[in-house]
Structure 1
Amino acid sequence: MAISGPAFLALWNDVSAESDAEYNRWHTDEHVPERVGIAGFIAGRRYRSSVPGQHRYFTLYETETSAVFDSAAYLDVIERPTAWSASMRPLLKNVVRATCDTVASTGNVSGQAIACVRISVTERFDGRALIDACMALAGVSSAHLGQSRSSVPDAFERWSNADDPTHVLLVEGVDEVPLRAHQAALGELARRFAGAARPAVVDAYELVFDIRHSQVDASLRRSVPASDSPL
């Protein structure tokens, strides 16, 4: 479905095989709901792929505004992690994190699969033309383009990379198979419409869990210390 708000957070990561089961419990039972319970978050979705040669996990958070990524409530869950979160963070590998302002979004059909295109460019380009071209591909139900912001909390500095994307293209469909078949085409569309400085990175995933702000249990909604105030 179309992105619900004007901003989103895209995250890719791997985890060691021996930690995979606990990671999935933590990510579903605590981590994603805790984030989505923050004021300004709309929804969260977590995806998974078993295809070699790409990140195993992708997570997408939709927000009411990009300012939520600088809010006291969001920074509080990062700087004061639960004991479970503190134990899991060191196990995350190959993390790519992009907070984005939504440039364009179209489509109103929910998809059980998503293709993620990480684009790196130096010049402005026509984002609407790019997502319209994506919508013409068979099996695509919606497409969204975000422009990355330079917003990296101190706790995540070690995961900042020189090759982080300038833009993130998200292409949804009802099935991972056709989206995976379009990987080369999506890379070519990124080159044609965005003039990418280097080849785009294209992954595809299946949805495994999603939750909206109103569905988060009260026990996972944290209170910000009274002395804190939004930045």
Structure 2
Amino acid sequence: MALLGKGALLNWGGVLPNHDLDYNLWHSLEHMPERMSLKGFLRAFRCVGLKGTNDNDKYFMMYDVKNKDILSSKQYLNKLNNPTDWTSKILSKYVYPSRAICEVIKTKSLTTGLSGFFVTIIYLAKSNEIKKFYNISDEIMSKNGIFSIHCFQSDKEISQLKTKEKVIRSYQGNEDEIIDYAVVIECLNINKVKMFLLNNLKIKSDKKIKINYYQLQHIIELS
């Protein structure tokens, strides 16, 4: 999956028990179409966690945008400060939200097609480890069933702008998690990528790094 722009909005989080169906319907039928109607939004998709993913990060959502300034624009902030009734209801059920407005710092794709599996690596503090992903060869990617590697740096100031949606997301007692960097890997086989991260790059989850595993649920892209 090649990226479509120079910026992205990355979201992770969970919802209260027994609210998953409503959450997924809302995100597919209202929220993604609403966001995709805004100028500068190029693609939106949602994934659900597989075995090994923390329940607090059960869902991963990503929006490709022309550049990160789209995500601090007047039109977008107007949406954030005027949520629909359905949006307000769903966001009030969020647990452990993580939201990062990012610029793309490195990206590499072997195909324009889309795979169904994703691995995300969240860096909760500054780390040079992200540079391990910068120069992985096509041969090594292919050997490990990796189609794409995307590296992002979070703009903390824009990410933490106080909006009505941000306030509603905190109703369960958790403010948006702050991240420094993120890596999104698109792949064919989750277990093979797990082994690649551990054995080749020596990267594993700890207090400052979170690794999660996802399957694609729904995608909307500009035609």
Shorter-chain TM-score: which interval? 0.7 to 0.9
Q: CA deviation at 1:179?
A: 3.3
Displacement after TM superposition at 1:103 (Å): 0.3
Deviations 1:54-108 (A, max 9, x none): 1210001000011111111111111111111111111011111111110010014
1:154 maps onto 2:162 in alignment: yes
Whole-Å Cα distance in 1 between the matches of residues 148 and 18 of structure 2?
35
**2:136 corresponding residue in structure 1:** 133
The alignment partner of 1:165 has SS state of coil
CA separation of 1:182 and 1:5: change in aligned 2, threshold 3 A: same
In structure 1, distance between residues paired with 2:106 and 2:53: 29
The residue number in structure 2 matching 1:145 is 151
Please show how residues 1-231 of structure 1 align to structure 2 within 5 Å.
1-51=1-51, 53-54=53-54, 55-109=57-111, 110-122=114-126, 127=131, 129-133=132-136, 136-137=140-141, 138-150=144-156, 151=158, 152-155=160-163, 156=166, 158=170, 159-161=175-177, 164-182=178-196, 184-185=198-199, 188-189=202-203, 199-214=208-223
Give the C-alpha shift of residue 2 in structure 1: 1.9
Paired amino acid for 1:115: V
Indicate if the aligned counterparts of 1:114 and 1:170 stay in contact, CA closer than 8 A. yes
Amino acid at match of 1:107: S
Cα 1:47–1:124 change in 2 (3 A) is: same
Q: Structure 1 pair 73/56, CA: closer, same or farther in 2 (3 Å)?
A: same
TM-score by length of 1: 0.79
TM-score, normalization: structure 2? 0.82
The amino acid of 1:36's aligned partner reads M
Task: Provide closer, same or farther for how the CA distance between residues 203 and 124 of structure 1 changes in structure 2, counting only shifts above 3 A.
Answer: closer
In 2 relative to 1, CA 89–21 (structure 1 residues): closer, same or farther, beyond 3 Å? same
**2:18 partner SS:** helix
- Answer whether contact 1:102 1:144 (CA < 8 A) is retained: yes
Distance 1:187 1:92 in 2: 33
2:149 and 2:186 in contact (8 A); partners too: yes
| Conserved 8 A contact 2:41-2:64 | yes
- Structure 1 distance, partners of 2:58, 2:129, is 30
Q: Extract unaligned runs of 5+ from structure 2.
A: none
Indicate if the aligned counterparts of 2:52 and 2:213 stay in contact, CA closer than 8 A: no
Distance in 2, Cα, partners of 1:207 & 1:124: 29
Per-residue CA distance 1:150-174 (angstroms, 9 max, x = gap) = 212313264233xx22111111113
Range 199-208 or range 56-65, more displaced: 199-208
1:71 to 1:63, Cα distance in 2 relative to 1, 3 A: same
Aligned Cα root-mean-square deviation (Å): 2.6
Matched-pair contact (CA < 8 Å) for 2:102–2:154? yes
Read off the aligned partner of 1:147 and give its amino acid letter: Q
Compared CA separation, residues 13 and 146, structure 1 to 2 (3 A)? same
Distance 1:26 1:181, change over 3 A: farther
Displacement of 1:185: 4.7
Measure the CA separation in 1 of the matches of 2:91 and 2:130.
Answer: 37
Pair 1:210–1:53, CA change in 2 (3 A) = closer
In structure 1, stretches of 5+ residues that fail to align are 215-231
